[in-house]
Structure 1
Amino acid sequence: MYAQSWQRLLDQAGPGGQQSDMSLASAGAAGGGRNDAGGELKHSAKPWSDAAGTAHALETDTATAKAKLTSAHAGAEAGTAGLASMAALTSVLTSWEKRLTAVHTECGALEPALRKTAWAQGEVDAGVKSALAQFSAPAGKGQ
């Protein structure tokens, strides 16, 4: 038996307070978003943490790539002054350095935001579970 306020809501929801077969429109026809029990939308911090790890790896890899690219071009200008190919090579180097710097900077800003989202999601879940615990007690208890 549920607390009176919850029982009223369940009664309004349908005969005997049975769980409806509602789902999110974005969940897809195959029951995406439902767990094996068939009624609860589930989520996890794992995708957010994985994305943060990928952002960190990209941040590190772009810094390494930029350093290698710059190092590989060091000294290339010696003895090639005035050649059109050297001007083109320098232009390409500058362009790639800008791109790699932009990716490095973006990933550096994105990683902590993704980690914070994963953490906050867990905190919200715990808070909601704690707040709803008082309503899961049988009628007459915990009210």
Structure 2
Amino acid sequence: MRYSAGWQQVFALSGQGTDPSVPLSPPFADPRGLRHTTGPWTSASGTANTLRTNAERSRARLRPAHEGMVAGGRGLSAVAAATAVLASWEERLAAVRGECAYLAGALNQVGRELGETDAAVGSALRVVRARG
């Protein structure tokens, strides 16, 4: 039996040998037992997306909330400080929104790739069983 290039890479990264005559130690003892679930990745992606939406909603509410203060507090030093804080929070929330958008996509991609890997391994095992 010869392991595919993908399995050889997994074994090499884990410190396992690729000689098929040498028994594998856990967790690689039975490649058929490896199963990935996309649920945690999809859930984490959804959470990142929710945080992105909430960050944008909060950012959009900040400026209108400060408009009355600027008009009513002309000449007060607190207005300049509040305006600086507003700008800082707008930047931070925009950064959070951007990072969450990236994470949502990346986490979804991991889930997809793990599912595709499971399907490919299952298909390869069916071929091996059919030949054996």
Question: TM class by shorter-chain length?
Answer: 0.7 to 0.9
Q: How does 1:1-143 map to 2 (within 5 A)?
A: 5=1, 9=20, 12-13=22-23, 22-23=26-27, 40-137=33-130, 142=131
Q: Which whole-Å CA distance do the structure 1 matches of 2:25 and 2:124 have between them?
A: 25
The one-letter code matched in structure 1 to 2:124 is A
- For residues 13-69 of structure 1, what are the alpha-carbon distances to aligned partners after superposition, in whole Å with 9 as ceiling and x for unaligned? 2xxxxxx66348xxxxxxxxxxxxxx9444311111011101110111011111122
For 2:46 and 2:83, the matched residues in 1 are separated by 33
Q: Which secondary structure state, in structure 1, belongs to the residue aligned with residue 47 of structure 2? A: helix
Larger Rg: 1
More displaced, 105-114 or 118-127?
A: 105-114
Bigger share in helix = 2
What residue is the counterpart of 1:27 in the other structure?
Answer: none
Report how many aligned residue pairs link the two structures. Answer: 113
| RMSD of Structure 2 on Structure 1 (CA) | 2.5
TM-score normalised by the chain length of structure 1: 0.68
1: CA distance, partners of 2:25 / 2:101:
43
Whichever residue aligns with residue 119 of structure 1, its letter is: R
Residue 134 of structure 1 aligns to a residue whose secondary structure is: helix
Structure 1 counterpart of 2:112, which letter? Answer: W
Task: Structure 1: state its 5+ residue gaps.
Answer: 14-19, 25-38
CA distance in 1 between partners of 2:80 and 2:58 (Å): 21
- Separation of aligned partners in 2, 1:111 and 1:76: 36
Gaps of 5+ in 2: 3-18
**Residue 9 of structure 1: CA displacement?**
3.9
Contact 2:45 2:104 in 1 (8 A): yes
